[in-house]
Amino acid sequence: MKTIAITSFVVIVVVGGIFMLAGSSSSGSSVGTADNVRVIDGKQIIEIQAHGGYQPNKSLAKAGLPTVIRFVTSGTFDCSASVRISAIHVSKLLPSTGSTDIDIGTSTVTTLRGSCGMGMYPFQVEFQG
């Protein structure tokens, strides 16, 4: 009888732990669009975390506004510290920790694609009217 109680306790803990993991991973990692775009004094600021890739890797922004992409690094020693947006001739090395604004003006394209310097971590900004 005692072993049954212990076994069911273990099962509850394990199953509970799996649910907690599933819950935290679905809310923690921002796949797709996220709430990372703000407009301050008519200027649009898109904040992207650069660390082992770009988060979010898809940003939804407004078309027709002067825009800054703000790359935030925090102990970033991988190649996502090297940002490339070839369509607008941007190639920039970010500090390992800090915040770097890249003024992209008013985007003339609907989808602006960028990546790390090696091209293995992509990100994109979608401009919608």
Residues that bind Cu ion (CB under 5 A): 79, 116, 118, 120
Residue 23's DSSP bridge partners are: none
Tokens matching residue 129: 């009217």
- Minimal distance, residue 107 CB to Cu ion, in Å: 23
Q: Which is nearer to Cu ion, 9 or 77 (CB)?
A: 77
Q: Which is nearer to Cu ion, 39 or 120 (CB)?
A: 120
Which is closer to Cu ion, CB of 11 or CB of 120?
120
Residue partners of 17: CB distance under 8 A and separation at least 6: none
State the minimum distance, in angstroms, from the CB of residue 91 to Cu ion: 13
Nearest approach, Cβ of 117 to Cu ion (angstroms)? 6
C-alpha distance from residue 27 to each of 15, 38, 90, 121 (Å): 19, 21, 32, 21
